[in-house]
Amino acid sequence: MSEKRCFYEVLGVARDTAPDELRRAYKQQALKHHPDRNGGDPKAEAAFKEVNEAYQVLADEQKRRVYDQFGHAGLEGGAGFGGGGIGDVFAHMQDLFSEMFSGGFGGGRAQRGGDLRVQQRLTFKEAAFGCKREVVVHAPTRCTDCSGSGAKPGTKPETCSQCRGSGQVSTSRGFVMFTQSCPRCRGQGAVIKQACKTCDGRGAVEKPRKVTVTFPAGIDGGQRLRVPGQGMPGPGGAAAGDLYVEVDVEEDPRFERDGADVVTRVNVSFTDAALGAHIQVPSIEVDDSTFDLEIPQGTQPGAVFTKAGKGIARIGAHGRGSLIIVVQVDVPKQLSQRAKELLAELDSELRGAAVSGVNETQSNDARKRAAAAK
């Protein structure tokens, strides 16, 4: 079995491609390889399924993060990550072609609403452990009085008499047929005789609304979540677009994040580093608890200790990263006269011990060489 191609390569896009550009690339590739446009060629059908599978993964924020981190291996065994049969492919493509052609596979005319983007700031621990937040969206929302149709309550839009509901009109010039959006209904396929007074026939009103967003444990700054159906309302009651929430994470003075690992720096005295000690280290747990860490005697500045499983949850994978403790030894800037004398004595003692150790080593080596010469 041949190895799967990179999904970004299948769609012909870069890894940092934005969702809108990704969708345009998907449309282009899907139309290019659609079986109906290629006479039922099996190769075209296979390419069409490959394009669909790639888009299903890359258009989903969570699946895309998993794929970026682990590749195809990260998607194996995951429900809904696969490519399904050709029937599923056509079902997935229905809304795409409805947008592009009047009376497409599903007969739809109205395009879905536009996407919205907002930014949400999380604390370090909210990002580490996940949370639910109400995000305020300032944008048009579907009019409740007319259910988004734009027509006066109790009435409904009427089928356009000029295009007969197709949303398009065609004219022929010789052997060439030209098609354009219907000028009477502006491509909607229906006209409103009596407009809703609340929204003036627009089907939407401007007001802030709250959307509950679930942020998964382990999310990081710069990442983005997609909330389906919470974007701009579609014209004429069509489906709404999506809401994209861009995440920003506050800095924590105690911790630095490196993927799923967390780095914290602890200060110890020169005495504790030299003699060894038990110190309290802050954890990232929700309750702000600390834990005991034993540092051995002779601990050097910059020494690193690691606590596995005490870091941040890995999105799309099991377990947590590590908590990495970096030791910083405090050197006093001001000393009393007595402290200076004690340090001088200590220095003399340490130097004497070092010289004695060297001499002892040299004597032992001499004795060994003499014994070997006999």
Query: What does the pLDDT read at residue 138?
Result: 82
Look up residue 255 and give its DSSP letter: B
Pair 44, 123 in one domain: no
**Residue 270 and residue 326 share a domain:** yes
Beta-carbon contacts of 274 under 8 Å, excluding residues fewer than 6 positions away, are 297, 298, 299
User: What helix, strand, coil percent values describe the chain, rounded to 5?
Assistant: 35, 25, 40
In a domain, 152, yes or no: no
DSSP state of 85: -
320 shares a domain with 268: yes
Q: Render each residue's pLDDT in the chain as its tens digit; 374 residues.
A: 457 888 989 999 888 888 888 888 888 888 888 776 777 788 888 888 888 888 888 988 888 888 887 777 767 644 334 444 433 444 444 445 444 443 333 334 456 788 889 999 999 999 999 999 999 888 777 888 888 888 889 888 888 888 888 888 877 665 566 778 888 887 778 888 888 988 888 788 888 889 999 999 999 999 999 999 888 877 666 788 899 999 999 999 999 999 899 999 999 998 999 999 999 999 998 888 899 999 999 999 999 999 999 999 998 788 899 999 999 999 888 889 998 888 888 888 878 765 555 445 555 555 565 556 55
Structure tokens at 33: 């390889």
For residue 71, CA distances in Å to 56, 75, 84 come to: 14, 7, 19
From CA 347, how far away is CA 47, in angstroms rounded? 76
Say yes or no: 208 and 135 in one domain.
Answer: yes
Identify whether the C-beta of residue 40 lies closer than 8 Å to the C-beta of residue 21: no
Q: Are 224 and 61 in contact (CB under 8 A)?
A: yes
For tokens 């009047």, name the residue: 102
Model pLDDT, residue 332: 85
The Cβ of residue 285 has, within 10 Å, a number of other Cβ atoms equal to 13
The answer to the question of residue 22 being in a domain is yes
CA-based diameter of the chain, in Å?
120
Q: How far apart are CA 219 and CA 216, in angstroms?
A: 6
Is 43 part of any domain?
A: yes
The Cα–Cα gap between 251 and 123 comes to 7
Q: Enumerate long-range contacts of 140-144, CB under 8 Å, 24 or more apart.
A: 140/202, 140/204, 140/205, 140/206, 140/232, 140/233, 141/204, 141/205, 141/206, 141/207, 141/209, 141/233, 142/203, 142/204, 142/233, 142/237, 142/240, 143/196, 143/198, 143/199, 143/202, 143/203, 143/204, 143/205
Q: How far apart are CA 167 and CA 190, in angstroms?
A: 8
Residue 224 shares a structural domain with residue 137? yes
Number of domains into which the chain is organized: 4
pLDDT of residue 81: 41
CA distance 58 to 94: 18
Same domain, 265 and 294: yes
CATH number for position 90: 1.10.287.110
Q: What local confidence, expressed as pLDDT, does residue 173 receive?
A: 67
Query: Residue 298 domain-assigned?
Result: yes
Q: Residues 102, 8: one domain?
A: yes
pTM over 0.75: no
Q: Which of 93, 109, 95, 103 is nearest to 35 (CA)?
A: 93
Rounded-to-integer distance, Cα 64 and Cα 127, Å: 19
Q: Provide the residue range defining the domain that includes 243.
A: 113-143+201-251
> Are 125 and 237 members of one domain?
yes
Picking from 90, 109, 128, the residue at the C-terminal end of a domain is 109
pLDDT at 193: 86
Structure tokens at 228: 């389906």
Same-domain pairing of 59 and 81: yes
